[in-house]
Amino acid sequence: MRAFLPFMLRAGLTALVAANTACAQVAPQMANAGVKPNIVIVATGGTIAGAGATTANSATYQAAKVPVDKLIAGIPELNDVANVRGEQTFQIASESFTNDRLLQLGKRVSALVKEPGVDGVVVTHGTDTLEETSFFLNLVVHTDKPIVVVGSMRPGTAMSADGMLNLYNAVVLAGTPSARGKGVLVEMNDDILTGRDAAKRINIKTNAFASAWGPLGMVVENKVYWFRAPVKRHTMQSEFDIDMLTTLPEVQIVYGSGNMAVEMYDAAVKAGAKAIINAGVGNGSVPNYAVDTLKKIRAGGVHVVRSSRVADGFVIRNSEQPDDQYDWVVAHDLNPQKAKILAALALTRTNSTAELQRMFWEY
């Protein structure tokens, strides 16, 4: 009972507020004129489904507790903007996502967007690996229907919980015709970000997600405002297809730092990595005492992808390291965890360095 206190308090206020704002309502944009869009909420867990012991617990709580039907029931306003149904695909904290979970989720979303009666899909997700999943879906689901990934930084039981508005905005966005063909989107804190480069930048506050290149737009009071569009290949134009995938090759990240142990790279190979993402310092740099190790690893058939531990900017090919000579790849502006997703998908199609590099430029 206590877990849903804020939802209940809110519900009590709804009638009061409705009376005062009825004339100020902005008509929602709908999939078909005068008809509400059909949106499926695919729930996977996370803080948006979390519950804490008290309303003061904004950061200490259990993720993945509240079932999707309860989340939907807690936001009656969803009925004003869409016909919504929920599916509990799994109920986990997103740090526990594995490749198998990614594939399972991707296949389910792909099946849903193929249904003629579905206009858009919202995926509720923990924020910790939301950036991996949103990029993965962006690369493998062939559809122009909106797919919106959403999470929250505070559980629904906390004061100023952000999940309800985030989810409401995500449903509005998923049901908006102008969101079609823009790839997988992330809706958090009113911002619309592309699933390609949305990343968690702050691990406490509600403005946790950002892209180095800025948001695509915003959702405010039922309306979607666009300011830019993605230019990289995604969804319909992608050469990766979830329906053809049954497994993903192993890729691991090695984090660069001063005085790093080069054995970390060897450990990644030992763990079965077919590519190593170098989360290098600065411009994806590799210490002089690690170059030979990485050259040997490449000669052994494992790919080396230079990304950076720096949140913004991008790694420049043949700068800092002679990538052509060493047969290495640069991750462009993709952070290490995004690069890991693309490298795994790329390796399902090719083992050529030139092809891998092409994919890192294009996606």
Q: What residues from 45 to 104 belong to the interface with ligand ASP (CB under 6 A)? A: 46-47, 63, 93-95
Grouping H, G, I as helix, E, B as strand and the rest as coil, residue 351 is coil
Kindly list the distances between the CA atom of residue 250 and the CA atoms of 82, 104, 133, 347, in Å, as whole numbers in the listed order.
40, 17, 16, 9
Among 6, 151, 163, 175, binds ligand ASP (CB under 6 A): 151
Report if residue 153 touches ligand ASP, rule: CB under 6 A. Answer: yes
Report if residue 126 touches ligand ASP, rule: CB under 6 A. Answer: yes
CB of 334 to ligand ASP, least distance (A): 20
Kindly list the distances between the CA atom of residue 149 and the CA atoms of 62, 89, 206, 216, in Å, as whole numbers in the listed order.
20, 14, 16, 14
Residue number with the shortest CB distance to ligand ASP? 126
* Residue with smaller CB distance to ligand ASP, 205 or 223: 205
* Residue with smaller CB distance to ligand ASP, 151 or 256: 151
Region from 4-12, 123-131, 246-254, 281-289 binding ligand ASP, contact rule CB under 6 A:
123-131
Host H or E run for residue 61: none
> What is the Cα 77 distance to its own chain's centre?
25
Report if residue 221 touches ligand ASP, rule: CB under 6 A. Answer: no
Q: Would you list the DSSP string of 95-127?
A: GG--HHHHHHHHHHHHHHHHSTT--EEEEE--S
* Residue with smaller CB distance to ligand ASP, 63 or 339: 63
* Residue with smaller CB distance to ligand ASP, 127 or 307: 127
CB of 146 to ligand ASP, least distance (A): 22
CB of 135 to ligand ASP, least distance (A): 15
Residues in binding contact with ligand ASP, number by CB under 6 A: 11
CB of 104 to ligand ASP, least distance (A): 16
Q: Give the CA radius of gyration of the chain.
A: 21
Closest to 10 measured CA to CA, from 172, 167, 157? 157
CB of 46 to ligand ASP, least distance (A): 4
CA angle (101, 347, 329) in 5-degree steps: 120
Q: Which two tokens stand for residue 109?
A: 């979303």
Beta strand pairing call for 199-200 and 209-210: antiparallel
Among 7, 38, 68, 128, binds ligand ASP (CB under 6 A): 128
Among 124, 127, 194, 308, binds ligand ASP (CB under 6 A): 127
CB of 59 to ligand ASP, least distance (A): 9
Strand order of the β-sheet with 329-330 is: 251-255, 275-280, 303-308, 329-330
* Residue with smaller CB distance to ligand ASP, 46 or 183: 46
Task: Write out the catalytic residue numbers.
Answer: 47
Q: What residues from 295 to 324 belong to the interface with ligand ASP (CB under 6 A)? A: none
* Residue with smaller CB distance to ligand ASP, 139 or 161: 161
Q: What residues from 10 to 49 belong to the interface with ligand ASP (CB under 6 A)? A: 46-47
Burial class (CB in 10 A: 0-12, 13-18, 19+), 202: exposed
C-beta separation of 119 from 39 below 8 A: yes
Give residues in contact with ligand ASP (CB under 6 A): 46-47, 63, 93-95, 126-128, 151, 153
